[in-house]
Structure 1
Amino acid sequence: MENELIIHNVSKTSATGSYILNNINLALPRGSRLSVLGPSGSGKTTLLRMIAGLDTPDSGDIRFNGVSILDLPPHKRNFGMMFQDYALFPHLDVFANIAFGLKMKGMSKRDQAPIVEQMLSLTNLKGFENRKVDELSGGERQRVALARTLAPGPRLLMLDEPLSALDRVLRKHLLDQLTQILSRLHITTIFVTHDHEEAFAAGAQIILMNQGKIVQQGSPDQLIHHPVNDWIKSFMA
């Protein structure tokens, strides 16, 4: 299968000279789902920001469909990123929140409508079009954020701790819904989390990060039963 996203020798250092990311190498086939797992401060979100164009590496390259994207501004990469806090607009209703990215692309309201309707159906939000964000539950807000991220038709989807603000029972329910939606879309997806149960459910392949490095990559079974060092064994316990 052809690799769609390739990250080659990417590094980033802090102002003090310590590594935020240290020689990251990664290849993602088209339509695959990858979970990026690791403790807080391991470099997971920084990696997403590099891919999205919100931050730049000190060295290395990021290529998409064989072309370096380092010089492309975020809006020209056509990647979707869903943030941990969802970043919804409280003064807008659900329809307008979902349509926001389409509006930024210059699409008319007439052309926005069928796409928003499709996203409402996909995320089980039919009937919520006119509700304000503060009228929604945590799970409903999560689905609005996902619908807004998907509406412009991104080439790559990145989810940064999308379930962390929810209680454990609701997280399990929404994770099941999320994986069903992603399976239907066949979009290349990177799912960032500190929770190994979420990581295992969201991606067939896992990379485990610690202190800015990828310390192991493989299937959930490989990480659980064949950890390459004691730190991984302890983290996965």
Structure 2
Amino acid sequence: MNEPNIEKLRRFALAVALIVLTYSVAGISLGPESKISVLGMTFKVSRPELLPIGLLMASVCVVLRFYYYGFMLNRSPYRLRRDAIDGLIDTTPRVSRTRKRKISVYFSSATEFDSLVWESNRTKVEKYVEDFPNLFPKFARARASAQINSEPSYTENGDPAGPMYSAKVVIPIRCRMAAIFQDIDYASPVWLNAISLGTFFWRIWKTGINA
């Protein structure tokens, strides 16, 4: 089964939210036997009282679909950043971690962080260093960066055991601030539909469903 395009689903969810919000705030209502023109075609609305129910169902369905595909089946930008930062401290799967998170995604006075995890596989660390800068948005000429640290390792007998590698990352404060706006924007289909539905039910409570 092919998953829907997240960006298209996101745009559709935003469009539905704006339609529901406009309907609720503007106080739009249709009289009996009203006509609606869509793409040059005219439709007669015989039961306009059912229009609010259709808008309600569309908003609920689209927000559930976006949350399922955008947050549950796929990793959101925040989740990608969170997992990468947590990987500096602990490489175990997120569900089995017991350590308290020590590095905030958004707020921290520090901008440079050294990984506490050392790997013998340089390729694995190189992949981390290559991917990390793309996890935070560039903003005002600031960009997240990462580099490889290496140190020699030894066996219990003191014999050389080869180099060990870790990552050092730099997260400018400006990139952290931009990440906040990016995450708010990514989740906008959820919170905007929530606002639209709240406004919708407020209108019904005030004026009734047929108003």
TM (norm. structure 2) is: 0.27
Rg comparison, structure with higher value: 2
Between Structure 1 and Structure 2, which shows a larger proportion of strand residues?
A: 1
Between Structure 1 and Structure 2, which shows a larger proportion of helix residues?
A: 2
TM (norm. structure 1) is: 0.25
